[in-house]
Structure 1
Amino acid sequence: MRGLSLYIMREMLAPISFIALALTGVAWLTQSLRFVDEVVRGMPATSFLKITMLLLPSVLGMTLVLALFFGTIYAFHRLYAESELLVMWACGWSTGGLGRPALTLAALFCLVLYGLGLWLSPWGLRSVKDLQHEFQGSFLSVALQEGRFNSVGDGLTVYVRERLANGELAGLLVHDQSDPESPVTFMAERGALVDTKDGPRLLLVKGNRQVFGSDGRTPQFLFFDRNLVDISDRSEESDDLWFGAKERYLGELFAAPDGDRDLRKQGRLIAEGHHRLAFPLYALTLTLIAMTGVLSGEYDRRRRAWRLIVTGACGVGVLLAAMGFTYLAASDARAIPLIYANVAIPALVAAWLMRRNYLRRHASADLAAGLAR
């Protein structure tokens, strides 16, 4: 019996590994494309590779769940198509006995997913944010291309006529419209990028500051010898002092709000915490759905494809509902129980269907044996 269980697990691991590698490769490539511009701007290749590797734990959760689900369907379908399941049933193996190796593997995946979601994923995303902040100043130093209007940060445009050999910038124009009601324009003969404790700044030398008067039409000029302009990314998403929901550990998600921004995002943080607790359990739920789709019903090759399509659609639908309920719970705390119900109810229904099918098949076998006598 133990040998047969190991055989089923080996049959599952091959397709699961292939699907996981394929999906992870696609997800890794997609995440990497976000940083191609930074490589063009001068990010070292080693830093780019480090960032993309740190992003892997955040995508592995979904890819492993999908790989387990579709790998289970493929493995049991192959056993079914080659009549190996019929032999196992004839040898006295119940549906529960056939599903035990799959559920054991799903339980191991569940533990891995908890490790990813509760520790590795937030650690990786926090490390990426730290690296981005570390290289922000150096990115800007090569991002300001001469002869072009360079978009920097939120509502900030910088024009550089020429980059000098000593690193200085000549012929500068800076237009700041982060506040649409009072845009500001700076012009300077020369300047340079400097690093300060508050982030990168653009030092302007011998220039003027232009704003419009109260009538919105008359420009007002203020001439200066030296002036510092903040050109760091001032968008809310880039604030390195505040970690988003996916960048926080579980305890931080349920902690009391620390500041106004935490208070505004509290619903999102709590919803993410409940999602982290529930998501690894989908390894068990989707495995039950996969086994139900393959092992339930009569032995009928003609309707097999349709049953597999329905099984796949059910599994994907459950995962989509999980994301939908998490999004809903972020704005309405009353939806939080739906996050857990979406895990439990499909699993219970799948287990009930498998149990009913086993009892029906067992009753049919007893009736056939009775008629034979």
Structure 2
Amino acid sequence: MILFRYLTREVLLTMAAVTGILLLVIMGSRFIRYFTNAAEGDIPVAILGNLMLFHLPGFLELVLPLAFFLGVLLAYGQLYMNSEITVMVACGISPSRLLRVTLLPAAVVAFMVGLCSLWLTPAGALQNAVTLEEQRSRLDISVLAPGRFQDFGGGRTAYIADFNSDRTRMENVLVHEQGGEDELESTYVTRASIGYQDISPDTGSRFLVLEEGARYGVAPGRQEAERLTFDRYTMRLGLSAERRELDSLEYATTMALWNDPNPRAQAQWQWRVGLPFMVFILALLAQPLSRVNPRQGRFAKLLPAVFLYVAYLSLLLAAVDAVGSGNLAVGIGVWPVHVLFLIIGLLLLWHSQRKGMR
């Protein structure tokens, strides 16, 4: 029991450090992308935290298997360097028992990966898509930047010259709309000296109120145009008539993918289900690869191990793409890739045991 706690602590602490570093790199890159969109006025800064939070399960399902793989390599490599494995073998700890000890934290990590891949990741991706789609379908003057044309859904593009001192009113507003209430082919351009946002206290609907301006409409193939001058013009900021489809397989539940005979759905299902199994196979690969000579250093086999992981993930993604495109039968699926690396892990383990654990 003491040995189990010691080995598990070493592996999980190393894995946690690697996970933190990988998440910092991946989430930092995504945050910079979202922050750039916020700086350009495409999304408000207030939703950046929610977007990153709902992306976290998708990052974890990819980071955790690699972090656990590297955690076993580095932790056991340090044990070899300190000759602690030699002491364990002298005390009667066999390689098979060491493998059983390794598979116990692997089960915890596999459960976390399965929780993310089967449930949290599609739910988070759907929530992010809904949030971004709602943002595209409405105009919030807080995200507008003076002197720029900005799309806000529904075929509309807005331009403002400047704000007043408290940023509640817009000056010299121009709104371009593709499509109209009567003729979808029409193009409308509305200009106004003043514009501001108003919210109905009864329904909560939001409106863009324009004052002292004119509205022009023209349709392709027509020899005439419309012109309407107004003192006050109200434009409802509702959802776009052409919303982006949110029924992508990326957002579908795992049970829905299981019941869908479409090859793309089956490929996505096999990808999600295969990730927890991948953790156990990586644990099987990591134990023999962590065996190093104290003179070599614990990083001696790190580069070959990373190449092996990259090959595993690349073949798995290629198999998912082949199943989704119909080039590989659904019945075969991605499982040959898992079986191949399972066999490689067993051969490495057998070779390591045959040479002995010095």
Q: Same fold (TM over 0.5)?
A: yes
- The answer on whether the counterparts of 1:201 and 1:232 sit within 8 Å (CA) in structure 2 is no
Alignment match, 1:173 = 174
Aligned residues: 345
Gaps of 5+ in 1: 258-265, 366-373
Alignment match, 1:370 = none
- State how far apart, in whole Å, the 2-side matches of 1:254 and 1:199 are: 39
Alignment match, 2:215 = 208
- The answer on whether the counterparts of 1:150 and 1:159 sit within 8 Å (CA) in structure 2 is yes
- State how far apart, in whole Å, the 2-side matches of 1:339 and 1:14 are: 32
Is 2:89 aligned against 1:89? Answer: yes
SS in 1 for 2:160: strand
TM value normalised by structure 1:
0.75
Given the superposition, is the C-alpha separation of residues 310 and 125 from structure 1 closer, same or farther in structure 2, using an over 3 Å criterion? Answer: same
- The answer on whether the counterparts of 2:288 and 2:348 sit within 8 Å (CA) in structure 1 is yes
- The answer on whether the counterparts of 2:257 and 2:265 sit within 8 Å (CA) in structure 1 is yes
Alignment match, 2:272 = 276
Is 2:214 aligned against 1:220? Answer: no
Q: What is the one-letter code of the residue matched to 1:188?
A: R
- State how far apart, in whole Å, the 2-side matches of 1:339 and 1:304 are: 33
Segment of structure 1 superposing worse, 286-295 or 149-158: 149-158
SS in 2 for 1:334: coil
Alignment match, 2:23 = 24
RMSD: 4.0
Alignment match, 1:371 = none
| 1:78, distance to aligned residue in structure 2 (A) | 0.9
Identity value in percent: 21
Bigger helix fraction: 1
- The answer on whether the counterparts of 1:153 and 1:231 sit within 8 Å (CA) in structure 2 is no
- The answer on whether the counterparts of 2:258 and 2:265 sit within 8 Å (CA) in structure 1 is yes
Alignment match, 1:9 = 8
SS in 1 for 2:328: helix
- The answer on whether the counterparts of 1:267 and 1:333 sit within 8 Å (CA) in structure 2 is no
| 1:200, distance to aligned residue in structure 2 (A) | 6.5
Given the superposition, is the C-alpha separation of residues 144 and 183 from structure 1 closer, same or farther in structure 2, using an over 3 Å criterion? Answer: farther
Q: What is the one-letter code of the residue matched to 1:211?
A: V
- State how far apart, in whole Å, the 1-side matches of 2:133 and 2:53 are: 17
- State how far apart, in whole Å, the 1-side matches of 2:289 and 2:295 are: 13
Alignment match, 2:182 = none
Gaps of 5+ in 2: 180-184
- The answer on whether the counterparts of 1:38 and 1:139 sit within 8 Å (CA) in structure 2 is no
Is 2:250 aligned against 1:249? Answer: no
| 1:283, distance to aligned residue in structure 2 (A) | 0.7
CA deviation profile, 1:19-65 (whole Å, cap 9, x unmatched): 112222333333333432448858465x5434422321221111111
Alignment match, 1:71 = 71
- State how far apart, in whole Å, the 2-side matches of 1:213 and 1:40 are: 32
Is 2:351 aligned against 1:344? Answer: no
Alignment match, 1:308 = 302
Q: What is the one-letter code of the residue matched to 2:85?
A: L
Alignment match, 1:261 = none
| 1:318, distance to aligned residue in structure 2 (A) | 0.8
| 1:128, distance to aligned residue in structure 2 (A) | 3.3
- State how far apart, in whole Å, the 2-side matches of 1:361 and 1:170 are: 80
- State how far apart, in whole Å, the 2-side matches of 1:136 and 1:162 are: 22
Alignment match, 1:188 = 191
Q: What is the one-letter code of the residue matched to 2:30?
A: Q
- State how far apart, in whole Å, the 2-side matches of 1:213 and 1:133 are: 29
Of the two structures, which has the highest relative contact order with CA contacts closer than 8 Å and spacing of 6 or more?
Answer: 2
- State how far apart, in whole Å, the 2-side matches of 1:201 and 1:335 are: 53
Given the superposition, is the C-alpha separation of residues 134 and 158 from structure 1 closer, same or farther in structure 2, using an over 3 Å criterion? Answer: closer
- State how far apart, in whole Å, the 2-side matches of 1:92 and 1:167 are: 76
| 1:167, distance to aligned residue in structure 2 (A) | 4.7
SS in 2 for 1:187: strand
SS in 2 for 1:246: coil
Given the superposition, is the C-alpha separation of residues 129 and 97 from structure 1 closer, same or farther in structure 2, using an over 3 Å criterion? Answer: same
- State how far apart, in whole Å, the 1-side matches of 2:224 and 2:263 are: 45
